[in-house]
Amino acid sequence: MTDVPARAWVATRKGLFLLAGEPGSAERIVRGPWLAGYEVYHAAVDPGRPASALALVNHPVWGAHVFRVDASDPAEAVLLPGPDPTGDGTAPEMLWHVAAPVLTGGAWHLGAAPAALFRTHDPAGGWTRIAALERHPTRSAWHPAKGGLALHSIQVDPAAPDRLYVAVSAGGCYRSDDGGARWAPINHGVRAAYLADPAAEAGHNPHALRLHPVRPERLYRQDHSGVYRSDDHGERWTEITGDLPSDFGYALALDPVNPDRAWVVPERDSHMRCVCDARLRVFETRDAGATWTPRTGGLPQSNAYVSVLRDALCAGRAGLHLGTSTGQVFASVDGSTWRPVPALLPPVLAVVDADPAGERAG
């Protein structure tokens, strides 16, 4: 982590908030909300306009929308064109994930439910559906998970921007090497005890997928059953659940500089869906998953019946941020000790580092 100001967008069920802090400090002030009253599922900073971000909104009456917000003005929220209809001609039911360009002039990508992927070079000009993924021969093995049939965790290789990765819950992880024209399932080595064939090519339920920007052939994934690492672009996966207290969880974050360092938040099981032993613990590895160490300083260690969702843990050059399903937010300079943010926010759906260089540090 480097000596830069700390800022993070916090997407919640009732709006988008911004955390701000000084370099080397875990103290944060809270600004906002933007889009007050809207369910904001995810956001991404615009590398070309670092003071602004794209926010994905889902509303039970008004539907799914994309907004641009400006960090200097909580009242600023510009409605942008939404994605084109999905394969069956209907508008997306929900928007799940937005990935900013990894290179200047590159493409934005957006994931939706029912599982669909969209792209644009100009969010103000609309989005185009990448239909080849939905037409993959393994599509028949996809099935809705608890949150529906969602496409999330879009990852773009900064060294080869035509190489894309997506996760579908429940369908599995897929890779394209040609900008989305063709796709291959990448689930070899991932166990799925909930399927008739635990080693099936598709039908898996990945909860989070992350690519490391410094070593882009390395990926990590938190699945419904276990944590895994790949060192060959997802061709083969090695389970690294190891001594974690559970193989179930959602949150996964990577150190932006060190590809051997990552954090997860194990949860009790798919039924209870809260942290193990009612203790909020962030487990860290510094050896690519060979061992895990709980980091608990400043986190509640009793009666913590909370969950941390797939995008609610993030790491950037200025530190880490974590948000819970009951609205608590914690910040850390180094991931070892945590400080509560002085606010009780709505349930947190995502926390996004607001320093785009931090997420792409080399």
pLDDT in the model for residue 146:
85
Q: Does domain 6-359 have CATH number 3.30.470.20?
A: no
Q: What is the pLDDT of residues 107-124, one digit of tens each?
A: 999 999 999 999 999 999
Domain ranges of the chain: 6-359
| Percentage of the chain modeled with pLDDT above 70 | 96
Of the ranges 154-163, 193-202, 213-222, which one carries the lowest mean pLDDT score?
A: 193-202
Q: What is the pLDDT of residues 237-279, one digit of tens each?
A: 999 999 999 999 999 999 999 999 999 999 998 889 999 999 9
Q: What is the pLDDT of residues 173-191, one digit of tens each?
A: 999 999 999 999 999 999 9
With a cut of 70, say whether residue 67 has pLDDT above it: yes
pLDDT in the model for residue 103:
86
Report residue 147 CA to chain centroid gap. Answer: 15
pLDDT confidence bin for 360, thresholds 50/70/90: very low
Q: What is the pLDDT of residues 293-348, one digit of tens each?
A: 999 999 999 999 999 999 999 999 889 999 999 999 999 999 999 999 999 999 99
CA distance 312 to 12: 10
| Averaged pLDDT of the chain | 93
